[in-house]
Each structure stands twice: as C-alpha cells, then as structure tokens.
Amino acid sequence: MKKNVVWMVLLMGGLILALVLRSGSDEGASQSTLMEEAKARAIAENKPILLDFSTKWCQPCQVFDKQRQVDSELLAALEQVILLQIDCEHKGKKLAQDYMIDSYPTFILMNADGNVHGLWKGYRKNLFLDAFNGYMGELKQATTAKL
C-alpha cells in the first residue's frame, strides 16, 4: 500500500512538473512569435523596433502607456518604429531574461535584424524623447553608412 502511495505521489509530481515546464515554453514560444512578427513588420515597413519592457504595477510604465496614446510628441516619435510592448511578469518573462532586464520600464531600440542600437531605463517624457531621438539618429547614420 505504501509503495502505491509513493508511486502515485511521484507520478502526480511528474505530471505537475511537466505541465509547469510546458506552460513556460508556450509563453516563450508566443513571445518569440511576437518578436518574429515585429521583425517581419519592421522589414515590410522599413522601420526599427522599439521594445518596451514593463509590468502592470510599474507606475512609470503606466504613465508611458497612457501618454503614448495621446501626447502628440510621443505619437510622432512612435510613428517611426514598430512598438512591441512586453509584459515582463507574464508572456514576456523569457524575453526579459534574454535581454537581462532588471528595471522597468526599459526600452531597447533595434533594427529589423535584431541588432540593438540603444537601451535606456525609466520614463520621463523629456528624457525618453532625448534618448529616443539620439538613438534614432545613430541608427539612421549606421543604416546610411551601410549603403
């Protein structure tokens, strides 16, 4: 009887572990799919990608999310990129780990090939726009130099 209970506990533990591992891999796969879709769109529209790593509880993340939808300067800036918002506590955990994100929000500007051209942390509108415009200028120079 004790052997049956032990085997049952081991079997259940194995099943639970398999489900946890599977759900984690699905999250990574869905985030990879989003990243691939963003790269394809960036190529099609000839735009760089802006990754926005954030969380629901992050106050500056919430401020950026609200302002980016209504502020004319932010709207104009973000028209120049493919914006990919990444929820670091859910589907975006693996991607955040891949980029070693340790604070929120973190922004990464990259070309369609995935080459990073800029990374900055935190959000205040003027600082965001300064960093964004600076890295966009560098990215445009790098792209022009390749031609």
Among 9-13, 94-98, 116-120, the minimum mean pLDDT is found in 9-13
Q: Extract the runs of DSSP E, i.e. beta strands, from the chain.
A: 49-54, 82-87, 106-110, 116-121
Counted domains in the chain: 1
- The predicted pLDDT at position 5 comes to 42
d(C-alpha 49, C-alpha 57), whole Å: 24
Host domain of residue 89:
32-146
**Section 51-69 average pLDDT:** 97
By the 8 A CB rule, do 31 and 95 touch?
A: yes
What's the confidence (pLDDT) of residue 134?
A: 97
pLDDT band for 4, please (50, 70, 90 cuts).
low
Q: Is residue 16 very low, low, confident or very high in pLDDT (cuts 50, 70, 90)?
A: very low
Residue 122 lies in a domain: yes
Q: Which residues pair with 21 in a beta bridge?
A: none
Angle at 113 between CA 138 and CA 142, to 5 degrees: 20
Q: Is residue 8 part of a domain?
A: no
72 within domain boundaries:
yes
12 in a domain, yes or no?
A: no
The answer to whether residue 125 is domain-embedded is yes
Mean pLDDT value of segment 132-147: 87
As a whole number, mean pLDDT of residues 42-71 equals: 97
Q: What percent of the chain has pLDDT over 70?
A: 79
Q: Is residue 132 part of a domain?
A: yes
In a domain, 4, yes or no: no
CATH number assigned to the domain comprising residue 93: 3.40.30.10
pLDDT at position 147 is: 65
Summary mean pLDDT of the chain = 83
Could you tell me if 78 and 129 are in contact, meaning their C-beta atoms sit under 8 angstroms apart?
A: no
Tell whether 25 is covered by a domain: no
User: What one-letter code names the amino acid at 118?
Assistant: G
Mean pLDDT over 54-70 rounds to: 97
Q: What is the pLDDT of residue 6?
A: 41
Q: Which residues contact 133 (CB under 8 A, 6 or more apart)?
A: 77
Place of tokens 């780990």: 97
Confidence label for 32 from pLDDT (cuts 50, 70 and 90): confident
Q: For residue 142, what pLDDT is reported?
A: 84
Residue 23 has pLDDT above 70, yes or no: no
